[in-house]
Structure 1
Amino acid sequence: MPANQSLSLSIPALFLCPWNITLQPAMGKEVEPEAEPCIGFRDGVCKFLVILLGSSLIMALSYQLFLYAATADTSSSSSENAEILAMNASTGQCDLSSGEWIPDARDPAYSNSTCSFISSFQDCLTNGRSDTGYLHWRWKPHGCELPRFDANKFLNRMRNKSLGFVGDSVFRNQMESLLCLLSEVEEAVLVYHDETFQTKTWHLPSHNVTLGLIWAPFLIKSTQAISKRHMQLYLDVLDDTWTSQYHKYDYVMLSGGQWFLKETIFWENNTVVGCHFCAGMNLPELGMDYSYRRALRSVLDFVSSSDHKPLVVLRTWTPTHFEHGLWYNGGICNRTKPYKESEYTADPVDVVMRDVEEERFQEGVRNGLRLRVRLLDTYHLSALRPDGHPGPYRRFHPDVSKKPQNDCLHWCLPGAIDTWNDMLMEILMGDEELRSAF
């Protein structure tokens, strides 16, 4: 489908409101989900330094753009990872997003009994999921290896730095995975939460590392003041929940998600310009990809113009795996192993939204953001893991015979989503290598 063609699907409104998590302000517990130039030197020296600097930059940038593996240090798991890194160095550039899932006999780095950060809705083992095969797969990129997350290395490299996640509940899911992975070395301390417990900040004092989770599911301003049924999206106004905190972070993770599938009315320049899924409202049906494209453009324009220059990581769209229906009408996800490449057919909605992300990322690179924006492409490896979701085990020991509601969007912890943080570590460690080269 052409990048400028909008996709509008006539699907029930209930599908457009997936997994809104409501929190109890008093307890912070989740409740029922609703479904520098060269100056002053002689010319010859200046030219030499410019050439040297340029060559170094090109080498470092090539390393970074392909998510090349970072060099190993003397951490607890560095021996194994050093072998992987040496292997990758011999094969050259590596695209970590292209590969396959292969069996892995090793246990996960943490468990539901060793990590206290797992939300009940993603605690599949505690909730009674008896098959554990989904825990024993690892992502094998074509032509190279992806090192396993190394908490010691991560914390040492991130010492005195901060990382913020901006997005929806899937980012909360990934943050909990990261907190669990790090807890094997140091337990994070919750130092801030808003009244809804959706925006939180943790601190790891031994390394002075700060982690932030900022609730901004659209990244842009949204309200429901005019229509309780339709979200009002202001495509040219960013959500100040995150922009007001942007300056606090050395690294910022951003992602849109399933919220863009909701029934929405679009505003630009304080004027309604169209909508998504608004039959009978006499408005242009522009489609969900229109709003997502405009939102990402507004985000990247902000990143480009901001005086604060963190490394920004754009994480790609997260696919769902509902079969035989959707979340509200009996849809399930009960598979117990990954798809092979030939077994998977992409959902058209996922393809369109993933293409919008690639389009906007490449546009940002062309417009001068090459050194400041990375793409964490988790889409394909996630699409091949229908077995990684809670399904009915979003609840404690559900009666499967009564066909309970399934969660086929979020991910069991531990599980497939831990691989997202394996990849994130490679990006962040690679950036540290680039910065330390100058």
Structure 2
Amino acid sequence: MFSVVKTSTTQPKGGRDGAAGRGITIKEAKMKVANTHQIVLAGTSLGVRNTFHSIVAILTTLVVVTTVCLRQDGGHLPPKINASGSNSSSSSSSSKCDLFYGKWVFDNESYPLYKEKECTFMSDQLACAKFGRKDLSYQNWRWQPHHCDLTRFNATALLERLRNKRLVFVGDSLIRGQWVSMVCLVDSVLPKTLKSMHSTANGSLNIFKAKEYNASIEHYWSPLLVESNSDDPVNHRVPERTVRVKAIEKHARYWTDADFLVFNTYLWWRRPVMNVLWGSFGDPDGVYKGVEMLRVYEMALRTWSDWLEVHVNRNKTQLFFVSMSPTHERAEEWGAAKGNNCYSETEMIAEEGYWGKGSDPKMMHMVENVLDDLKARGLNVQMLNITQLSEYRKEGHPSIYRKQWDALTQEQIANPNSYADCIHWCLPGVPDVWNELLYAYIFHQ
């Protein structure tokens, strides 16, 4: 069974296999190396056998010294990713750390990492407490990998890393929620006069600026990455979704020179067939064709990856792709009554490895294949595999506790399930953990 642990203690500063737990300091380890070296020199007259044992002792001690030094340097192991969406057998080895294989631990001392009311730029779509949610325990869960500790988020350290740089989130409303989370995570350490927010590109690009650091944290609206008829940041709900799978420059020119690029695209592809346009929107000679979604998804990802290969400065830009964010729209999938959804849920799913039908492994594997091909061509895009860990958090969605952009009907009011948002996430909440994972990679990659 999936382990849900409740504790009110703070996260330990070092990894659980850190130097302190091993009972040896770096200084002591170095002294052991020196002593062992002396043993070898003094023992040459004792023959080859003693020399062999001494060499083994030196190598063993060097391994200890190296391990101690590495673990004291930041107190955490570098992250190892398994992007397949399933738990690999290597995850059980204590010598490796898959940051995405672990458990949720209740921690009401260290979490939340910020207060909803105190975030200057909180979104009304994600501010669940503001819109009436009373149970706030969704804010107090910390993600704990099984074989190491997730690096504690340090807003000042991140801003220093972002000095004179751009961190840009590109994609749909889910990655926009991750962007809002990141803004809230750094907001509290900045004086009011030294931060700003503005929009450009007809509202598609929103830019948070930390003036003292000349650092920006941005979100660019591009739900399908390539051009589509859903590209307007406000008026994007259309009955027939159409994509230009070979066209990306219109969007990409806004993120070409970014230092950190974080992409996602999934939610807007959830339909069996997509309209593909060869030509331009409004062109009477354009050719439209309905194509099976997974094939269109691959074509769009290939266009995106080809653009990255040609235009990204490999010596400057770190690239990330956030895997699909799960939805919780069918309560029967976790054993609740059919017809219900995340509405009124206050506890997470306890079944280890739970995977809802709203997450599509075929799409996830498609992303993996594209990223593998890019890597073979010399360009690394790091997958942030947030799917499995987010699958457990059915209680983390806004449900009915968010701003309603359209007036509710009497039928909706009588049946809250009918308008509950089980797609996006409350803040503080799950997207903060996505950013802790991103933070770990930024500092350890």
Which of 219, 243, 246 aligns to 2:225? It is: 219
**Other-structure match for 1:60:** none
**Other-structure match for 2:10:** none
Which of 173, 180, 188 aligns to 2:177? It is: 173
The answer on 1:201 being equivalent to 2:207 is yes
8 Å contact from structure 1 (residues 394, 406) kept in 2: no
| Structure 1 residue 400 displacement after superposition | 6.7
8 Å contact from structure 1 (residues 216, 239) kept in 2: no
| Alignment deviations for residues 359-398 of structure 1 (CA, whole Å, 9 cap, x no partner) | 222222223213xx211111111111111100011248x9
Map residues 284-295 of structure 1 onto 2, 5 A cutoff. 286-295=291-300
**Other-structure match for 2:86:** none
| Alignment deviations for residues 113-144 of structure 1 (CA, whole Å, 9 cap, x no partner) | 21122111210111111112212211111211
| Aligned CA distance change for structure 1 residues 342 and 400 (closer, same or farther; 3 Å) | farther
| Structure 1 residue 261 displacement after superposition | 2.0
Q: Percent identity?
A: 27
| Alignment deviations for residues 58-115 of structure 1 (CA, whole Å, 9 cap, x no partner) | xxxxxxxxxx99953xxxxxxxxx4x56999x95432111112122232311111211
Distance 1:407 1:86 in 2: 35
Distance 1:71 1:122 in 2: 36
| Aligned CA distance change for structure 1 residues 150 and 97 (closer, same or farther; 3 Å) | same
Provide structure 1 residue ranges, at least 5 long, that are not aligned to the other structure: 1-67, 73-81, 276-285, 432-438
| Structure 1 residue 207 displacement after superposition | 1.6
Which of 347, 352, 360 aligns to 2:362? It is: 352
Q: Which has the larger radius of gyration?
A: 2
Which of 318, 333, 337 aligns to 1:311? It is: 318
Secondary structure at the aligned position of 2:428 is classed as: coil
Distance 2:230 2:344 in 1: 35
| Aligned CA distance change for structure 1 residues 345 and 85 (closer, same or farther; 3 Å) | closer
Secondary structure at the aligned position of 1:122 is classed as: coil
| Aligned CA distance change for structure 1 residues 97 and 272 (closer, same or farther; 3 Å) | farther
| Structure 1 residue 239 displacement after superposition | 5.1
| Aligned CA distance change for structure 1 residues 319 and 349 (closer, same or farther; 3 Å) | closer
| Alignment deviations for residues 320-350 of structure 1 (CA, whole Å, 9 cap, x no partner) | 1112599xx9754432122123472331652
| Aligned CA distance change for structure 1 residues 113 and 341 (closer, same or farther; 3 Å) | same
Distance 1:99 1:203 in 2: 34
| Alignment deviations for residues 25-49 of structure 1 (CA, whole Å, 9 cap, x no partner) | xxxxxxxxxxxxxxxxxxxxxxxxx
| Aligned CA distance change for structure 1 residues 157 and 345 (closer, same or farther; 3 Å) | closer
Distance 1:160 1:357 in 2: 31
The answer on 1:164 being equivalent to 2:168 is yes
Distance 1:195 1:237 in 2: 17
**Other-structure match for 1:95:** 98
**Other-structure match for 1:406:** 420
Give the TM-score normalised by the residue count of structure 2.
0.68
Provide structure 2 residue ranges, at least 5 long, that are not aligned to the other structure: 1-69, 81-92, 232-237, 281-285, 334-338
Give the TM-score normalised by the residue count of structure 1.
0.69
| Structure 1 residue 158 displacement after superposition | 2.0
Secondary structure at the aligned position of 2:189 is classed as: coil
**Other-structure match for 2:87:** none
Distance 1:381 1:86 in 2: 19
| Aligned CA distance change for structure 1 residues 149 and 207 (closer, same or farther; 3 Å) | same
The answer on 1:363 being equivalent to 2:388 is no
Distance 2:311 2:296 in 1: 22
The answer on 1:210 being equivalent to 2:216 is yes
| Aligned CA distance change for structure 1 residues 154 and 70 (closer, same or farther; 3 Å) | farther
| Aligned CA distance change for structure 1 residues 291 and 335 (closer, same or farther; 3 Å) | same
| Aligned CA distance change for structure 1 residues 123 and 264 (closer, same or farther; 3 Å) | same
Distance 1:148 1:111 in 2: 17
Map residues 2-401 of structure 1 onto 2, 5 A cutoff. 71-72=73-74, 82=75, 91-106=94-109, 107-186=111-190, 189-194=195-200, 197-223=203-229, 229-238=239-248, 240-241=250-251, 243-262=252-271, 264-268=274-278, 272=287, 274-275=289-290, 286-306=291-311, 308-309=313-314, 310-323=317-330, 331-342=341-352, 344-347=354-357, 349-370=359-380, 373-395=381-403
Query: What letter is aligned with 1:94?
Result: C
| Aligned CA distance change for structure 1 residues 131 and 169 (closer, same or farther; 3 Å) | same
